[in-house]
Each structure stands twice: as structure tokens, then as C-alpha cells.
A and B are shown apart, each in its own frame.
Chain A
Amino acid sequence: MLKSDRKYHYKIERRSSVPFWHEILAAILAIAITLLIGGALILQSGASLSDAYSALFVGAFGSKKAILETLVQATPILFTGLAMVIAYRANYINLGAEGQFLFGAIAATWVGLSFPSLPKPISISLQITAAIFAGAIWGLIPALMRIKVGASEIIVTVMLNFVVQYFLSYLVSNPWRPENEFYNQTAKIATSATWPNLFDSRLHIGFIIGIFLSLTVLYLIWNTKIGFELRSVGENPTASKYKGISINKIAILSMMLSGAIAAIGGAGEISGIHHRLKPTISKGYGWTGITIALLGRTHPIGIIISSIFFGGLINGSSFMKIKTGVESSLADAFQGAAMIVVLILLAVVQYRVRRIEVNG
């Protein structure tokens, strides 16, 4: 049969399993496409593309000072992203990292303000413990509600975010605001309560704690019995239940852990950076955490890489504004675009094109 006689038609079909490196490729491609989109926005705003992007890069990674500040920006989203990952592996979508983060900040502030004379290690341990409690409760509520009454944890966590946000705004404008304070914020926490800084910069031990937690979560999920149960419940709760895994216990554990991790991030942001509670401590870290959780393929190593990348983006964009006048909210547009692009690519990668020979 002549080659030209062969007829083919192409069919798009869903894969039964996606190779791992396809997903990595999709994430990297998403970043590339988003950079292109960002480039278009930069051009549209009249600045020079090379100037803007080089300023962005220099601002993010161009000097020791820049890198350290990038890590500072990366730290809070490392925590919120990690929080999302732990819950997601158990098939819980925790959108409440924002609220759990804030609640942890409130808890740490409480310790810092109430116990000013504690020695530093004790104060910090107490702050972290208080934050863990706060975050765990804020994670427990949606878990219990899904288990007991079948309420969607997506809705409950979003509601809880608003509740904590308003509660915090109440605290800093009323009971926790010192008499003579003009702005809506608390007094500064005692110096003995602040988290030590690293390398003479704004970077604090929170970053180290975050990395440590990421590696711990990595070990937990793939090397322990509990981690296997977590993943099993996320993959197939019915089969897990038939085989003796307590799906309620796992759900509660994962959500409490998730909330606690986000809360520790909040504590760090207070005691490491701001040293007082004010309404603006979170710049949407919870939502950015969702984006990096997706980009990082819900894997702790991916989270570390993505959070540093986004930290660089946020850090670099303020330098970019100074240097080239490009609107710094480009970082927000970038983040939004990155989210959609990565979602689309990850969905596309689920399919393959198959060539089918047509005979007769």
C-alpha cells in the first residue's frame, strides 16, 4: 500500500495517567506564558520591555540585599501554600489560610503584649503554640462542619476569613489600641518577643521554620503511615473507610494541621516583621498561597520554589516601579494571570492526541 493511501484521523482523548514531568513542564510553561502576558502589559503601559524585566530581576535577585528581601516576601506565602497542600492531599480545599494566618497573628500579638518579660526562647515558643492553637481551631471548624452536616469547607473557610478579618480590625481599633495611638494598630510587642533576624536583614527565623516545616510535611506525607492514610482518604475516601482508615480522624487532623501551619506564618509576620498588629499585615497571602500551591503541584518542594519565585516577583515589582514607572500592581495582574494560565495548562496536559489509522 502506498504511503499516500494511508488515511489518518486524529482524536483527542483523556489520559488515564499523566506523566509526572508533563506536569512540571506545564508549570514552567505557565510561568513563561505569564511572563509574556506581563510583557504585553508592560509594553501597553509605555515602558521599555527590557528595562522593566531587568529591573524586575535585579530588584528580586540582583544583590544579597535583594535576595534577602525576596525571601522575606516569600516567607508568609510559603506557610499559606504549605497549609493548602496538606489539606488538599486529603481532598479538602482550605481557602481559609488567609483567616488562619490572621488568627495566628492575633495569637502571637496577644502573647507578645501580655507577657513582655518572658525570655525570648520561651516567648517565641509560647507564640508559636498559641498560633498553633488558633489555627488548629480555625481549621477544625470547617472540618467538623463537613463531617457532621456536609457543609462545603470552601464556603465555611471563606466565611471564617471574613469573620477573623473583621475581628482583627475591631481589635486594633478598639480594645487593643493604646490610648494615645492615632492609627488603628496595637502597641509594639516587647523586644524580647520579636523573632531573631538573619544576616542583618528583615529576614527572620520564620523562613527557616517554614523550610523546616515543608521538609517535615514532605516526609510525613510520603514516608509515614499517617501520610499514606491522608493521601488514601484524599484519593478514595470510600475505599479507605472499607479498609479501616478513619476518614473523619484524618480529615480533622489534616485541616487542623493546615490551619496551624498558616497560623505560624501569621505569627512570624507579626513578630518577625511588623512587631505589632495592624489591619494590613496580610496582603492577600492566603490567596497567593492558593496560586503557588497549584504552581508547586501541591508538593512541598514545589511550594518552596514557587514561593521564592513569587516573593521575587513582589519584591522586584516595587524596584521596577521606581526604575521604569511601571505600575507595581502589575504583580497582582501577573498573579491572577499565572493562576488562570497554570490551571488551563494543567487541564490541557490531561489530554493527548492520538493518531488513528483509517482502513477501508
Chain B
Amino acid sequence: MKNQPILTVSNYTKSFGDVIANDSICLEIESGEIHCLLGENGAGKTTFAECVFGYYQTDCGKLLFNGSEIKISSPSDAISAGIGMVHQHFVLARSMNAVENIAVGIKRKGISPGLSKIENDVKEICKLYDIELPLSTPVKNLSVSDQQWIEIIKALYLGAKLLILDEPTAVLTPQETEKLFGTILEMKQKGFSFLLITHKLKEVMSYSDRVTVLRKGRVIATVNTDDVNEDYLAEMMVGNEISLSTKRKKVAIGDCLLSVQDISAIGENTNLSLNDVSFDLYEGEILGVAGVSGNGKKELFDCLVGYQKINGGKVIFDNELISNQNPYQLITKGIACVPPDRIHQGLLMNFPIKESLMLGLHFFKPISNGFRINHSEVDKFALDQINKYQIVASSPDQITQTLSGGNLQKLILSRELSRSPKLIVAYSPTRGLDVASTKFVHEKLLTIRETGASVLLISEDLDEIYTLADRLIILYRGRIVGNSPINKIAKSDVGLLMAGCSIAK
């Protein structure tokens, strides 16, 4: 006997300003099913999920839960119905512990929050699914994996029968990912249903029952996972015969350009975040830096671009000692930087594009002579870059905020590459970008090598590192635990090293 679907969505449309993020999306989830929502960055997956959860309000559309229509105008409607969500960026109060976070807003009699009862209930749930979770530690001291368990238990405690998970494995190690999916399968046996949002094809193939592919806000297809393969899904996701592989031209490797010797640095949490890190980078080479967040990538980036103080050791660039020089000096020496957060670390969002493009270049001719700014040169430069990089903007006076993610990244790249730097330090340069923009960035980084420049590519995305890099180093707890040419180390071994495990030689 076929049960009725637990969730039926018809014609969900959602727009932000002029942009239509979701266009008449129809989707059905069977009871007890793991249903994947697949699409590239910017396809509208998270928007859709937040609409189902009631965090965003759709422009129109209908939702049926277990057959009955419900109006979802806020998360409380979704929660009452039995929909729970684990968001891509966690929504926890960081100074409170797990129990307090779960207890917030739980309806009960009396004025006390009832923490001890909730603690006992949470312990039961943890026992049931074999989850080890420190319950009285403040969230800010917990690992991302632990935080995710809190989010899941939070949803269960509120009575969720359908769990929406938005990119849950983006920040997990391979081992943590395995544990997560193990638990999901266990919960599936107990009757829970899942809407799993992801762009990782391997996960879709391994764990889902059915998959809906989203592209540019529209549903392209809904298929049984057993009926398809990765290539088919990739084509659906991206839309045309885009070869996902980028052509690499062979480039001669030159002398040592950057030599980092035993550097240490203290990170934000005043634990020693970088410990005696040493590596060399050669001309024409792309060196990848892999590691889980919080293990030293940010500090390495900040140290090399002059944002953070180095506490010991030396950095030698082009045969010159440059440790602890400020960003201006490093720019003049030919080091460019592409920061991980383009909005908060790279651009002037409320200013016109031409002024975002000036940042870092305003020291030099022809934009300024050191005192006065030459406005006609500013305009000329901006127009040049807009054309060269095919940035979608109507004029250099357009406000930076109004550009899409891909175009913003093009702004940054054009600015950084305009002075023909010798070294580009790029951190997650394609985070949040759609496939076309990602390809553009990758191609630019590859062509730069042909002029003898080098790239230090720090990234969360192992696939990206494997696409672009010649060699890679792996950071764990602020130390280098691996250093190898790309073709001599398997991705799974890199995953192990990232998690602090050792590998068989």
C-alpha cells in the first residue's frame, strides 16, 4: 500500500527584488524517503528550503503536509506541522550550551525554563542514536560536527517528522560525514523523512532515494536515484555540455618564489594557531592548502597578506625577507590577495563599482599621484576592467551591492591581477559561485601561471584543489601534516590527514 507523500509543494515562487530565486517549483517527498535537492550554487535550493520552513515567505504556491493543506507564514507553522530544518549556517547561541539552546522557546507551564528535564530528554535521544555530545559546554567551544548534532536534536525535540538538511557535509570531515549518514539511515528506518540539499553528486548517488534537480530557480527533473548516474545529474545540474574539467596547459616550474620557514602565529582564540609551518612555492606553480576550518588556514592567509602578525620564523619572497611587512608593502612587491569573504573582506558594497576597484590601487599612478585622485583615470580603469572581465554592470557608477556573486568575484580578480602580481594568495575563490563563474576563476588562475606567477590556493573544496594544484600541503591543528605532489596522494588520504589521522605510507 502506497502511503501518501509527507510533503507536496506546488508552484512555489519566490523573488528578491527583481531576481526570481524560485520559479513555480513543484516537489513531492514520500514518507520515509531521503529526497535530495540538487543544484549548483545559486540555483535556489536554500531559498526553497527556507520557504518550506517558513523563514521566507513565498510569493505564491501551496503546500500539503500529510495530505492536508497548511499555510506557512512563519517557522512556527512549519514546526507545528512537523517540519524541522538544519540550516547551512548554524543558528545557535554560541555562549549557551546545548541544553539551553534546545530549551529556548519550548512551551511549558510555569516561568522556569525547565533545563533539567530537557537535559534528561536530550540524553535519551543521544543514547538512542549513539551520539556523543557534551551537554554543558558552551557552543563556541564545540566542534562543527557537535554543533550540527545540536541542530538535529533541536529539530527532533520540536517534533519534526520531515527534516530538511541544507548542505550538511560542507564543513565535515569524511569520517564525520559517514557518521552523519549512518544516523540518517537509522532515523529513516524509524520513519523520518529527509530533504537533503546538496551539490555533491557522490552523496546523492550513495544515499538518496530520489533526487530533484534545480537550475536557475526551476525544477529540471525529478528522478529515482537508481535510474541515473553522476554524469546525467551533472548535465541536468549545469544545463549544457560544459566539460567540468578545465584544460591545464603544462607550464615550466621555475625557481623558489616564496619560502615560508617555521612561522607561528596566534589566532583569534589565543591558542597557537600556526605552529612552525614551513613550505616552499615555486614560480609557475599552484600550491594547494587543504584543511578543515579552524585548523590554521585563515591564519596562514592573514599572515601571508600582511593582515596578521607573525610570531616567529621567516617569510622570504623573491629572495627578500618580508615577514611582518604591511599589506601596502606586500602589494608593491607583487603579492595579490583574494579573500574568502568577498563582501566583508574585499569590497566597498555601498560605494560605486569604480571605487571598489580602486581599493589597493589608490596608492599608485595613474589613479592617484599620492595626494590627488585622478577621476578620469578611475573611470577609464573601471570601464577597462568591466570589458576585459565581462562584468555584468551598466556603468562604473553602479553601486557594488547590486552585483551578483560571480560578478563581485570578477571585480576582485580584475583588481588583484591588474598589476601583474607575482604571487596570488587565493582563499576559497569560488565559494558560493555558480559553475560558469567558477570555471572563469579557475581558468584565470591557470593562465596566470604562464607569465611565471604562482598561486597559493587555500580551499575547503578538495575537488577544486585537485583540479588546479600541482602540489598540496595539509594543515591540521596549525601544523603541516602532509606535503605532496597532487598525483602522488589520494583524495581519501588527504581527507584522513585533514582529520588528524595518519595514513599508511
- Chain A interface (Cβ < 8 Å from any Cβ of B): 9, 13, 16-17, 223-229, 231-232, 235-236, 238-246, 354, 356, 358-360
Distance in angstroms from A229 CB to nearest chain B CB is 7
* Interface residue B242 (Cβ < 8 Å from any Cβ of A): no
Question: With the chains together, A223 CA to B377 CA distance in Å?
Answer: 13
Distance in angstroms from A255 CB to nearest chain B CB is 21
Question: With the chains together, A272 CA to B355 CA distance in Å?
Answer: 42
Distance in angstroms from B297 CB to nearest chain A CB is 16
Residue of A236, A246, A356 ringed by the most chain B CB atoms within 10 A? A236
Residue of A225, A239, A358 ringed by the most chain B CB atoms within 10 A? A239
**B399 and A244 form a contact (CB under 8 A):** no
- Which of B17, B347, B363, B373 touches A354 (beta carbons < 8 Å)? B17
Question: With the chains together, A245 CA to B59 CA distance in Å?
Answer: 44
Question: With the chains together, A240 CA to B327 CA distance in Å?
Answer: 10
Instruction: With A228-B368, A243-B331 given, name 5 new contacts (CB 8 A).
Output: A223-B373, A242-B327, A242-B339, A245-B328, A358-B60
**A244 and B347 form a contact (CB under 8 A):** no
Q: In the complex, which residue of chain B has the Cβ closest to the Cβ of A14?
A: B17
**A246 and B362 form a contact (CB under 8 A):** no
**A224 and B371 form a contact (CB under 8 A):** yes
Question: With the chains together, A111 CA to B17 CA distance in Å?
Answer: 60
Question: With the chains together, A17 CA to B352 CA distance in Å?
Answer: 10
Which are the 3 A-B pairs with shortest beta-carbon distances? A244-B328, A243-B360, A244-B327
List, sorted by A's number, 19 A–B pairs whose CB atoms are closer than 8 Å.
A16-B17, A16-B399, A227-B373, A228-B368, A229-B362, A232-B351, A232-B359, A235-B348, A235-B351, A236-B347, A236-B349, A240-B359, A241-B307, A242-B339, A244-B329, A245-B328, A246-B326, A356-B15, A360-B60
Q: Mark B44-62, 1 if CB is under 8 A from A, else 0.
A: 0000000000000001100
Distance in angstroms from A253 CB to nearest chain B CB is 14
**A359 and B60 form a contact (CB under 8 A):** yes
A238-B345, A356-B15 known; A244-B372 Cβ under 8 A: no
Question: With the chains together, A355 CA to B267 CA distance in Å?
Answer: 48
Q: Mark B328-372, 1 if CB is under 8 A from A, else 0.
A: 111100000101000011111111000100111011000010111
* Interface residue B11 (Cβ < 8 Å from any Cβ of A): yes
- Chain B interface (Cβ < 8 Å from any Cβ of A): 11, 13, 15-17, 59-60, 305-307, 326-331, 337, 339, 344-351, 355, 358-360, 362-363, 368, 370-373, 375, 399, 401-402
**B339 and A358 form a contact (CB under 8 A):** no
Question: With the chains together, A232 CA to B349 CA distance in Å?
Answer: 10
Question: With the chains together, A240 CA to B11 CA distance in Å?
Answer: 44
Question: With the chains together, A14 CA to B7 CA distance in Å?
Answer: 32
**A242 and B331 form a contact (CB under 8 A):** no
**A228 and B305 form a contact (CB under 8 A):** no
**B373 and A225 form a contact (CB under 8 A):** yes
A16-B399, A232-B359 known; A223-B348 Cβ under 8 A: no
Distance in angstroms from B380 CB to nearest chain A CB is 17
**B337 and A242 form a contact (CB under 8 A):** yes
Question: With the chains together, A97 CA to B126 CA distance in Å?
Answer: 59
**B359 and A239 form a contact (CB under 8 A):** yes
CB neighbours of A236 from chain B (8 A): 344, 347-349
**A228 and B355 form a contact (CB under 8 A):** yes
A16-B402, A242-B305, A243-B360 known; A224-B373 Cβ under 8 A: yes
Distance in angstroms from B26 CB to nearest chain A CB is 11
